[in-house]
Amino acid sequence: MKDPVTGKDIIIIGAGIGGLSTGILLLLLGYRVTIVEKNRKPGGLMRSYLRKGVDCPVGVHYVGALGPSEPLGKMFHVLGISVEDLFYPMGSSGLVDRYRFDDFVFDMPLGMDAYERNLRKACPAEGPALDILMKSLREISGQMMDPSFFLRQSDPFQNMDFLRPMGELLDDLRASARLRALLAVPCQLIGVDLDDCPVIFHHMAVAGYLFSSWRLKEGGGKMADAFAQRFTALGGKLILNRAVRKINLSSGKVTGISLGDGEKLLADAVVAAIHPKTMLSMLDPGALRSSLRERILTLEETKGVIAVQAGIDAAAHRELDYNIYRLRHDERGGITNGIFYQIRKGNASGTNLLSIIARSFYRDWSLWENTVSGKRGADYEDKKLTIARDLLKKSEEVFGPLKNAKILDVFTPLTLRDYVNCPEGSCYGVLRSVRQLLKIASLNKLSIKGLYMAGQNSVAPGVMGCILGSFNAVRQLAGTPRLYGEISRLL
Ligand SMILES: Cc1cc2nc3c(=O)[nH]c(=O)nc-3n(C[C@H](O)[C@H](O)[C@H](O)COP(=O)(O)OP(=O)(O)OC[C@H]3O[C@@H](n4cnc5c(N)ncnc54)[C@H](O)[C@@H]3O)c2cc1C
């Protein structure tokens, strides 16, 4: 680990959940912090947008573990962000997700014991495999409950058994295709296939939602504003609508950044809460040794998605307090097709929101690769709408005929690419597969003094992963004793 930064002035690039939560933590530790964000509003993927008075989510559909004694709830408490103001608990009907496969339905409940019961009922012949799986899941969820999980980067990340691929573990346990398919769904939540998903990330995703599951009361815009307000209330400076073009160095040490218009801002350290390839484009070619540069450039991305936001008649289609996944699997249990559905409250004039998310490859949009949002032309709009109509039609297999269904908006990998500068419109940043773990680890050991990474590419994606990444970045920047000393008092 590098020596802690001695100066006080820190610049963070990017006001997504990673940048804002890192900023809040640094302010709590007494640093002077400026965040620079290229968009007009803060929030990045967490921010939602309005269409016909309906709040449409981008990157926060549901979040786990926000209860007061649970890991993310504790992290929100440290950050000074009220869970009750922003979220409400899911699961009033006993489930959080319904997985609908062609040949069976599985309900993801709340609570570890209920989950174990449902798994044993769905896979009655797999007692011994489930004994082993549930033991390791309980072990990780127990460790997640201890504050050392986010304050000291505790054991689960050091235990080699938890870094092996889920696929290999399930091969050893001779798991059936059905069990594999069930366990493959949480891996999709971080964009990795089961075969290559590290056990720890699978278990963290499952345990998080089993602790408790939550939806936003008023949407991602309010969540983004709450984080930004907390940051500025603590004395942080938020510069919006200005992109960082360059990270400036002198003798291998960060001196600050240059903005698009050439203005320079000085800093003792810079935290890049953006995609690592975007960060690399801000450094002189010789700034990192060529092997590390090559490692970052060749990182594989998580896949993109196409998302359809559709208005539906609120009286005919009430809000569903669980999500539905329509899934297909192959004979080994690999997910070959998965579509996510969520029905939420819409506007006051009788419209609810049906959000549909399906996989979409960046290469499928290559014709428009060199265009920018809003200026891609009629062919692109046609293709988008054709896919959206088809997805809407398919959703009737799940919900029955939809009354007054109207497409409000559609976004593609290109939309996300341009909105937050993520290469290939990757949903969850770099692919957190076992194959890439070593490559990704080097992101947290950049050889440049005063340069750190945060956001979904640093530890893990998702709200929990990003905020864990923020604690990790601050631990590196300030040193473990300082982070632990200052923050543990708040718990
Ligand atoms: C479709 C979708 C659904 C999801 N659903 C969920 C979910 O239900 N639950 C969950 O927990 N997670 C979900 N996620 C994941 C979650 O949204 C992300 O992991 C998280 O929001 C990423 O935050 P971040 O801060 O790392 O990055 P971002 O939100 O991408 O923030 C990076 C910020 O940096 C800014 N930036 C980029 N380049 C520059 C520059 N040159 N200068 C200045 N600023 C710059 C960007 O504009 C952006 O605001 C979902 C993601 C997607 C895409």
| SS3 state at 212 | coil
Q: Whose CA is nearest to atom 12 of ligand 1?
A: 462
Whose C-alpha lies nearest to ligand 1, atom 2? 59
Nearest-CA residue for atom 33 of ligand 1: 14
Strand, coil or helix: what is 97? strand
CA 407 to each of CA 225, 339, 416, 487: distance values in angstroms, whole numbers, following the listed order: 27, 17, 19, 46
Ligand 1 atom closest to the Cα of residue 19 is: 25
Q: How far is the CA of 45 from the centre of ligand 1 (A)?
A: 4
In angstroms, what is the span from residue 59 Cα to ligand 1's centroid?
7
* Atom of ligand 1 at shortest range from CA of 461: 19
**CA 89 to ligand 1 centroid distance, Å:** 23
Q: How far is the CA of 126 from the centre of ligand 1 (A)?
A: 38
How far is CA 279 from each of CA 60, 82, 188, 275, 458, rounded to the nearest angstrom?
24, 31, 26, 6, 12
Ligand 1 pocket test: pick from 420, 430, 453, 471 the residue with the most ligand atoms within 8 Å of its Cβ: 420
- 372-388: b or e for each residue (b if 16 or more CB lie within 10 Å)? eeeebeeebeebbeebb
Nearest CA to ligand 1 atom 26: 455
For ligand 1, residues with CB inside 6 Å are: 13-19, 36-39, 44-46, 59-63, 243-244, 273-274, 278, 305, 307, 357, 416, 420-422, 427-428, 455-456, 461-463, 466
The 3-state DSSP class for residue 453 equals strand
Crossing angle of helices 480-488 and 17-28, in 10° steps, is 80
CA-nearest residue for atom 1, ligand 1, is 59
179 Cα: distance to centroid of ligand 1 (angstroms) = 31
State how far the Cα of 246 lies from the Cα of 242, in Å rounded to an integer: 12
The residue ranges of every structural domain in the chain are 9-48+219-299+431-488, 87-214, 303-424
The contacts of residue 349 (CB under 8 Å, 6+ apart) are 53
- Centre a 10 Å sphere on the Cβ of residue 297 and count the other Cβ atoms it contains: 11
- Spans in the chain with pLDDT lower than 50: none
Instruction: Report whether CATH 3.50.50.60 matches the domain 9-48+219-299+431-488.
Output: yes
Q: What integer pLDDT is reported at residue 156 of this predicted model?
A: 66
CA distance 254 to 122: 55
Which ranges in 265-377 belong to alpha helices (H)? 276-280, 290-297
Nearest CA, atom 50, ligand 1: 59
Q: How far is the CA of 275 from the centre of ligand 1 (A)?
A: 9
A 10 A CB-CB count for 75 gives 26
Asked if residues 411 and 365 have their Cβ atoms less than 8 Å apart, the reply is no
pLDDT at position 443 is: 84
Position in ligand 1 atom list of the atom nearest CA 245: 41
Scan for tokens 């530790």, then name that residue: 29
Task: Collapse the DSSP code of 269 into the 3-class scheme (helix H, G, I; strand E, B; otherwise coil) and give the result.
Answer: strand
What are 91-139's pLDDT values in tens digits? Answer: 999 999 999 999 999 999 999 999 999 999 999 999 999 999 999 999 9
Given this model, what pLDDT does residue 154 score? 62
* Residue of the CA atom closest to atom 52 of ligand 1: 59
- Backbone Cα Rg of the chain: 22
Closest of 455, 429, 460 to residue 304, by C-alpha: 429
Nearest CA to ligand 1 atom 16: 462
Q: Whose CA is nearest to atom 5 of ligand 1?
A: 59
For ligand 1, atom 51, the nearest C-alpha belongs to 59
- pLDDT of 72 reads 98
Residue from 339, 317, 307, 306 nearest 405 by CA: 317
pTM of full prediction above 0.95 = yes
What six digits make up the tokens of 412?
């593609």
Query: In which order are the strands placed within the sheet that holds 32-36?
Result: 237-239, 32-36, 9-13, 269-272, 451-453
Ligand 1, atom 14, residue with closest C-alpha: 59
CA of 371 from ligand 1 middle (Å) equals: 21
**Alpha-carbon span 224 to 238, nearest angstrom:** 13
How much is the pLDDT for 153?
Answer: 67
Instruction: Give the Å distance between the CA of 360 and the centre of ligand 1.
Output: 18
Calculate how far, in angstroms, residue 38's C-alpha sits from the geometric centre of ligand 1. Answer: 13
CA of 421 to the centre of ligand 1 (A): 9
CA distance 48 to 221: 5
- Which ligand 1 atom lies nearest to the CA of residue 455? 26
